[in-house]
Amino acid sequence: MEPAGEWREIEAKYEDVLARVVGVPEYQRPYYRKWVNEFMGFCRLRHLGDAKVEALDMFLEGLRKRGRLGFQVEQARVAVEVFWMHFRSGRDSRTDGKPGSIAGSGGSGLGPGAVAISDEGAPGVGNPNGNPSRDLNRVPGRDKETDKRRDKGPVEPGGEDAMPGDWIMAMAGLRKEVRLRHYSAKTLKAYVHWVRAFSRFVSNAPLRSVSSGHAREFISHLATERKVSASTQNQAFSALLFFFTQVLRIGLEGLEMTPRAAKRQEIPTVLTRGEVQAVFARLEYPYKLFVQLLYGCGLRLSEGLMIRVQDLDLGGGGLRVHYGKGEKSRSVPLPKSLIPALEKHLQSVRAVFDADVKVGFAGVFLPEVLERKIPGAARGWPWQWVFPAGRLTVSEGDGKLRRFHLHESTVQKEIKAAADSAELSKRVTPHTFRHSYATHLLQMGYDIRIVQDLLGHNDLETTMIYTHVLQSLAGKVVSPLDV
């Protein structure tokens, strides 16, 4: 049967589901029916299956490009998901939490239907700006370790397609409120995960029956039974507080008085200058240059990956850091010793960029606001990544070829392998080089407030932790055993 004819047959049943199961107000139901009707027409014209998550992604992207408001796009997504849940339970795109499914899309933190897949031994794919992408050369299941690492984390079976309608609508509201505040993709991912976990804890009870008492029981369950870390417990607390107060608009009497878990104050791992050089000696291009930049400028891993060509001022010897923690920007000096290597590296990147232009790529991934504000910026040289991925990827939103930056897991693996090869007894991560940068600056006699500015810390107390490391390294305190 043609989709249009089938829709006419089940439209009345869909209306009944909206009323009895989901609880959509009567004045809103025509909009839900309209979205499903438009979606099926969209699929019919393009010869797409109306049970494909990829088709929904393309449909929603088309709504955004036509200027639909955010709440309308979210309403359309929920309308189709409710349609799938009740009339497409056997759809072939459903994979119970794996990439390409509704369950997977909700937990990815990258936006509806986003896929972040990394190929073993090659730079992977992802998008911090919420633009879904897929690795062109990825063969699912070819590398079990990569699949296991990809699936590790907060995404669990029984996602949003297993939730009742009121919870599905609440999850849509959660995404809307988080994005409205321009919180990071990681924050969205964490909040979605904990609200899902909470819904399972209360057995998907109707939202109108859920209270702050359930939330306190859930936090207690995490601390006493699951024995999560203090930071994890506090993250869950923040997610539920946001969900109840900003999404459900329910006052949580007593929840704000729930004690926060005390977080341990960790002394950071710091490498000696010799150990830093030993790791450098075992890294290959371009990872050696990248890690040298992390250490030489005191960058976080995400800050290094997000560097674009226009952020480098090789003539003036400076680097502009954007999208730092808390969305802050700052400027740091570039190590003079790295400038020749960076100039040579940019020549290689330019050659890759010129080749991309010839094959008709759509450009690098940019935040949606920049795509609209500066048309053509994605294909401009100043906006290209300084450390691009090794292959083009397909944007699932529009199906166009784009290039992403190096994947963070690839950098982490390279650093670990180099540290193991150097036989270091310390646990070395990308952030270790930031710790070492701060400590070595203090050893050189720089004022701690200068170090604070270079690191981008809001609070001087955060930077003060390095003084403890410095004292232990300086040997100012002599053990009685050595007297």
Please, are residues 49 and 94 in contact by the beta-carbon 8 Å criterion? no
Annotated catalytic residue 466: yes
Please, are residues 150 and 163 in contact by the beta-carbon 8 Å criterion? no
User: Of the listed 260, 325, 328, 426, which one is catalytic?
Assistant: 325
Of 60, 144, 97, whose CA–CA distance to 396 is shortest? 60
Annotated catalytic residue 150: no
Please, are residues 390 and 137 in contact by the beta-carbon 8 Å criterion? no
User: Of the listed 77, 134, 300, 435, which one is catalytic?
Assistant: 300
CA–CA gap between residue 431 and residue 145 (Å, rounded):
24
CA–CA gap between residue 388 and residue 120 (Å, rounded):
17
CA–CA gap between residue 34 and residue 427 (Å, rounded):
56
Chain center to CA of 309 = 22
Pairing state between β 133-135 and 312-313: unpaired
Annotated catalytic residue 440: no
CA–CA gap between residue 475 and residue 479 (Å, rounded):
9
Of 180, 207, 208, 197, whose CA–CA distance to 239 is shortest? 197
Q: How many CB atoms lie within 10 A of CB 125?
A: 27
Please, are residues 297 and 441 in contact by the beta-carbon 8 Å criterion? no
CA–CA gap between residue 103 and residue 430 (Å, rounded):
31
CA–CA gap between residue 312 and residue 386 (Å, rounded):
9
Helix (H, G, I), strand (E, B) or coil at 1: coil
27: DSSP letter: G
CA angle 193, 197, 202 (to 5 degrees): 150
User: Of the listed 150, 405, 434, 440, which one is catalytic?
Assistant: 434
SS percent in the chain: helix, strand, coil, step 5: 60, 5, 35
Task: Give the dihedral of Cα atoms 93, 96, 97, 100; nearest 10 deg.
Answer: 0
Q: What are residue 67's DSSP bridge partners?
A: none
User: Of the listed 345, 407, 440, 457, which one is catalytic?
Assistant: 457
Annotated catalytic residue 427: no
Please, are residues 297 and 319 in contact by the beta-carbon 8 Å criterion? yes
Annotated catalytic residue 431: yes
User: Of the listed 64, 98, 413, 431, which one is catalytic?
Assistant: 431
**Amino acid, single-letter form, for residue 183:** Y
Please, are residues 60 and 77 in contact by the beta-carbon 8 Å criterion? yes
Tokens read off for 370 = 């920049």
Pairing state between β 388-395 and 133-135: antiparallel
Q: Which residues are catalytic?
A: 300, 325, 431, 434, 457, 466
